[in-house]
Structure 1
Amino acid sequence: MESVGAAVATYQAQNDGAQDRSRMRSGIFNGMGIQLVYSVVAFIVINLFKTTFTTMILGHHAASAVASADQYIWIISFFFPVHGFLMIFRNTLQGWGHSLYAIISGVGELLGRSVASVLAITTWGFLGICYANPVAWGVSLFYCIVMVVWVFHRNHPLK
């Protein structure tokens, strides 16, 4: 997902320099399409083999740990599209030369994980731990979408 995001950053930088609005917009949507296809395939493959792999690592006598690991893997992999889209939008900001906005997104993601982790420890329990990353990805994605739309319209007004 990060590699597709890095490719989008380069693509966006080139088309930003060329002032090609339509290619900039299509780059975002095509990147999202690639991430969605990858996420669905990864979700299927990971979930087909998750119990086998977690059992290989944890052993047959750790049934409750395997069940918890399987639950965590299912939840995280279900939210792969959110993470993939975050990589597209964050790297679009990078490609357009707005690294500070991308850094703020990363810091926000870290803070979101920290808050979710504290809540998981104090009230939500294991399920809170499972959702800490997806919640952080979602909040950061929302911020990045808003910033991409704002920067796009500010820097590339319709003529």
Structure 2
Amino acid sequence: MPLLRLERRHCKVSRGELGRIMNYSLLTCVQQSVMNFGILMVQGLVNSFGVNVMAAFAAAVKIDAFAYLPVQDFGNAFSTFVAQNTGAQKAERIRKGIRSALWVSVGFCLVSSLLVCLFAAPLMGLFVEPGETEIIAVGVEYLRIEGMCYCGIGILFLLYGLFRGLGRPGVSVVLTVVSLGTRVALAYLLAPIPAVGLKGIWWAVPIGWVLADLAGLVLYRRKPLPAETACAPEG
């Protein structure tokens, strides 16, 4: 087929496209680096509470990550959807997609929240021996606090995907900094308070999600998006 035949004139590098790819890649690397650095900071604070808390946190985080993994992948798929329709200048499809994606994500998060909150103890039992009651109790407390707020992380993953798909990956980095920065700052501020302690670390996580969600919504509304104008990605 002539349309699929590769010719020498096709084998050239577009500097503009290469620069755009490098820009997206660099910002994604920065986003992941910020995430990992924030997680390490929180892990260091958790470690100061002793071996049992460390063990509980390690087990609970695995359950936590597994619970919202589908929503994270859904956000990645949503990014592809937005990018394709941005390139095709299908503004109305993007707007409809945002509404549909929000309903699906929130619905799934509510189901995950219910399951994790109800079955926190049995889930911890998958990773911890039944006799380790203190570890299980700490893990259950963590899971129930985080589990109540999965809608926050679900919306945040959608915002990541939305801004990446619109050609604005820098906004995703900003939201990551808001989320992780809030988590680390609040954790270190609240944990030393005797009346708060570990709960301060646990609550810092969903508070970070919610603040990042609010920041994302403000940026979405304040700056005209390509989806509402020409649907062309920013250079």
What is the TM-score normalised by the length of structure 1? 0.88
CA drift of 1:94 comes to 0.6
Among 192, 209, 225, the alignment partner of 1:137 is 209
Among 103, 111, 119, the alignment partner of 2:189 is 119
Task: Specify the SS of the correspondent of 2:94.
Answer: helix
Q: Does 1:29 align with 2:99?
A: yes
Aligned to 1:148: 220
Aligned to 1:46: 116
Q: How does 1:18-97 map to 2 (within 5 A)?
A: 18-97=88-167
Distance 2:225 2:167 in 1: 14
The alignment yields a C-alpha RMSD, in angstroms, of 1.9
Distance 1:23 1:154 in 2: 14
CA drift of 1:154 comes to 4.8
Q: Which has the higher helix share?
A: 1
Give 2:198's aligned amino acid: F
Distance 2:84 2:149 in 1: 30
**Residues 85-133 of structure 1: per-residue CA shift (max 9 Å, x gap):** 1111121011000011111111222211110210232223111111111
Distance 1:147 1:121 in 2: 31
Distance 1:128 1:90, change over 3 A: same
Give 1:93's aligned amino acid: F
Structure 2 unaligned spans of 5+: 1-70, 231-235
Query: Percent of pairs identical after alignment?
Result: 22
Distance 2:190 2:217 in 1: 27
What is the TM-score normalised by the length of structure 2? 0.61
Distance 1:3 1:56, change over 3 A: closer
Give 2:113's aligned amino acid: F
